[in-house]
Amino acid sequence: WVLLGEMFNNTIRGLALGIAAAAQWLANFVISTTFPSMADVGLWFAYGFYTVFALLSLLFVLRFVPETKGVELEDMA
């Protein structure tokens, strides 16, 4: 939530925050509905699967999300 509040400039902020929040809710729904069946296979499988995707998301953030420290919202593209 902190990242979302700082990454959109004022011209698109309302729409972008709505879309980003909806994407987070959808991801939470998918995780909560798939966990029981994945846990039936084994907890190692469920946690391992989610760990792999968490690491992929970390790599994505490190590679593609720009640093916003010291940048005004109006100056972000």
pLDDT tier at 9, thresholds 50, 70, 90: confident
pLDDT tier at 49, thresholds 50, 70, 90: very high
What pLDDT, on the 0 to 100 scale, is given for residue 8? 82
Percentage of the chain exceeding pLDDT 90: 62
pLDDT tier at 48, thresholds 50, 70, 90: very high
What pLDDT, on the 0 to 100 scale, is given for residue 62? 92
Cα dihedral 46, 49, 53, 59 sign: positive
